[in-house]
């Protein structure tokens, strides 16, 4: 078994060998809680959840850290706007809301979305505001090593000196003078317009609750600094994997890597970035109205279907949303669930296979996941196994059907499709439903035997209207409940 992942820093797929045998340390950027989660946030979380689950399947002990940025310019601006007399309350706004209350409310919205879609809770989920002392220590270390300086205009800001670090730009392979947005950077108090803030001095009009005492004056941390301070506290100065969305490579991850390495830290051994979600081939944008939110998706389909859709592409590729995307994902899940339900009914001990620890997934599935998490190829193996299982059931080959059910269940668990939030089951209601449906199928079989096609079709139409999917086969009719 050789795990291989694409490393953004080296721009190549490399063999993955953890720094500590048997253990993996993973940090991925969580939410800046300034608003409701968008589909890009959730796609990223699902991608790194799939990574975690696969590493755990491969018997690694994985420590996962996902941060919460609960203080930044946009959080303060949105809170301040809520106190303005002409503020128009929107669907996700509450009038007169303190910045910390706004941040906490949106943090809970993110957690609800993660939980609903089966994203496992991380080992640690630190908030930026809880790690101010660690940030102060990192800033002082950078100043002492000649890579940071207090602002030249006595504003209380502290900046990272990008020209002091000769590897600045290496993550995104840019030269300092050619960097994106350099011409628009605010030059005040800086040696170079490209220098970025490690600490932001308190400004008039900002709430005093959003500032902390520091050696350089009261203020608050810069965005990039937060991650460096938190990851090193929980995973150390050198760790295995740093992840996040492709849009974070620059400037966030470039700056994070520079300040950490300039402080003398080895930092991340691998950088992994997931691709964006587009809408019919175009970048999603609220201004042109081509966005779809996780909430909107969950109104159209079940959580399992939404997770299947958001997790079906190779994590580095673009995932394009089309009006038919969720219907296609729903059809795929129905094929899988149809086989599982049919097999459980046919095999007296089938239900026992749906619980417990991982078994052995098919070799082709494992090879795909080892190869930089090739989920599309892994899903192809899953669907091939479903087809083989159905064939075995039709042929009465219970041993082959049981093996297929076992494999399908384990592949679903690895992909997180067995752990998605679902309504609580009512065993008594399930039993009653089964008795009623089987009685209807019996009546339909009698009608078909006497060639009473009108009665047969009427029974099927009634079951379909009730959400029961009927499939006819050589051994008679089978049924499943239609999924969202």
Q: Please tell me the distance from the alpha carbon of residue 407 to that of residue 388, in angstroms, as a whole number.
A: 11
pLDDT class of 463 with cuts at 50, 70, 90: confident
Provide the Cα torsion 133, 138, 139, 145; round to 10°: 150
For 372-388, what is the mean pLDDT? 98
Q: Which string of b and e fits 114-126 if b means at least 16 CB within 10 Å?
A: bebbbbbebeebb
Amino acid 288: pLDDT: 78
pTM of the full predicted structure?
Answer: 0.85
pLDDT at 260 over 90: yes
Determine whether 369 is exposed, middle or buried from the number of CB atoms within 10 Å of its CB (0-12, 13-18, 19+): buried
Of residues 288 and 429, the one with the higher pLDDT is 288
Structure tokens at 183: 């011409």
What is the band of 52 on the pLDDT scale with cuts at 50, 70, 90?
very high
The highest-confidence range among 86-100, 203-217, 339-353, by mean pLDDT, is 203-217
Tell me 4's DSSP state: E
Burial of 200: CB neighbours in 10 Å, binned 0-12, 13-18, 19+? buried
Asked whether residue 26 carries a pLDDT value surpassing 90, the answer given is yes
For residue 371, the tally of other CB atoms under 10 A from its CB is 16
What's the Cα-to-Cα distance from 352 to each of 345, 355, 357, 405, rounded to whole Å?
A: 12, 6, 11, 11
Q: Give the pLDDT confidence of 175-221 residue by residue, as tens digits.
A: 999 886 665 667 788 999 999 999 999 999 899 999 999 999 999 99
pLDDT value at position 427? 47
Neighbours of 462 (CB within 10 A): 12
* pLDDT at residue 453, rounded to an integer: 87
pLDDT value, residue 89: 55
Instruction: Give yes or no for residue 161 having a pLDDT over 80.
Output: yes
Query: 398-441, pLDDT tens digit by residue?
Result: 999 999 999 999 999 999 998 665 444 454 565 567 667 777 88
* Confidence category of residue 29, pLDDT binned at 50, 70, 90: very high
- Per DSSP bridges, beta strands 196-201 and 23-28 are unpaired
For the chain, what are the domain ranges?
4-275, 282-414, 427-481
**What is the average pLDDT across 94-98?**
76
Question: What homologous superfamily does CATH list for 282-414?
Answer: Isoleucyl-tRNA Synthetase; Domain 1 (1.10.730.10)
Query: Where is average pLDDT lowest: 5-19, 23-37, 461-475?
Result: 461-475
Fold exhibited by the domain 4-275: Rossmann fold (3.40.50)
């Amino acid at each position: 078994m050789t795990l291989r992942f694409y490393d953004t820093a080296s721009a190549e797929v490399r063999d993955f060998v953890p720094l500590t045998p048997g253990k993996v340390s993973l940090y991925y950027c969580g939410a800046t809680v300034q608003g409701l989660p968008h589909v890009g946030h959730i796609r990223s979380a699902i991608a790194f959840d799939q990574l975690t689950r696969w590493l755990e399947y491969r018997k690694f002990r994985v420590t996962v850290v996902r941060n919460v940025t609960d203080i930044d310019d946009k959080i303060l601006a949105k809170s301040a706007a809520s106190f303005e007399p002409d503020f128009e309350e929107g669907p996700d706004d509450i009038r007169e809301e303190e910045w910390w209350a706004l941040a906490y409310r949106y943090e809970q919205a993110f957690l609800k979305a993660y939980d609903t879609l089966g994203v496992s809770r991380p080992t640690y989920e630190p908030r930026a505001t809880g790690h101010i002392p660690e940030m102060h220590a990192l800033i002082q270390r950078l100043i002492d090593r000649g890579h940071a300086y207090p602002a030249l205009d006595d504003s209380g800001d502290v900046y990272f000196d990008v020209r002091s670090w000769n590897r600045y730009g290496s993550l995104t392979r840019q030269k300092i003078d050619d960097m994106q947005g350099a011409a628009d950077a605010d030059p005040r108090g800086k040696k170079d317009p490209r220098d970025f803030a490690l600490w932001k001095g308190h400004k008039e009009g900002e709430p005093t609750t959003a500032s902390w005492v520091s050696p350089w004056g009261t203020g608050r941390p810069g965005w990039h600094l937060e991650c460096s301070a938190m990851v090193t506290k929980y995973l150390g100065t050198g760790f295995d994997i740093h992840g996040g969305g492709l849009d974070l490579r620059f400037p966030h991850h470039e700056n994070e890597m520079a300040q950490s390495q300039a402080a003398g830290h080895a930092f991340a051994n691998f950088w992994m970035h997931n691709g964006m979600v587009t809408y019919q081939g175009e970048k999603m944008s609220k201004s042109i109205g081509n966005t779809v939110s996780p909430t909107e998706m969950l109104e159209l389909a079940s959580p399992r279907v939404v997770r299947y859709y958001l997790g079906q592409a190779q994590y580095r590729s673009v995932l394009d949303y089309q009006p038919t995307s969720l219907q296609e994902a729903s059809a795929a899940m129905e094929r899988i669930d149809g086989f599982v339900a049919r097999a459980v009914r046919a095999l007296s001990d089938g239900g026992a296979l749906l619980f417990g620890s991982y078994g052995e997934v098919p070799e082709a599935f494992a090879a795909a996941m080892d190869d930089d998490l090739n989920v599309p190829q892994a899903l192809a193996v899953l669907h091939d196994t479903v087809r083989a299982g159905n064939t075995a059931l039709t042929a009465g080959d219970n041993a082959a059907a049981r093996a297929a059910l076992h494999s399908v269940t384990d592949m679903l668990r690895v992909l997180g499709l067995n752990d998605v939030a679902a309504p609580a089951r009512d065993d008594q209601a399930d039993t009653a439903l089964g008795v009623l449906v089987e009685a209807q199928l019996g009546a339909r079989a009698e009608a078909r035997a006497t060639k009473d096609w009108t009665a047969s079709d009427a029974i099927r139409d009634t079951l379909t209207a009730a959400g029961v999917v009927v499939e006819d086969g050589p051994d008679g009719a089978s049924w499943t409940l239609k999924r969202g």
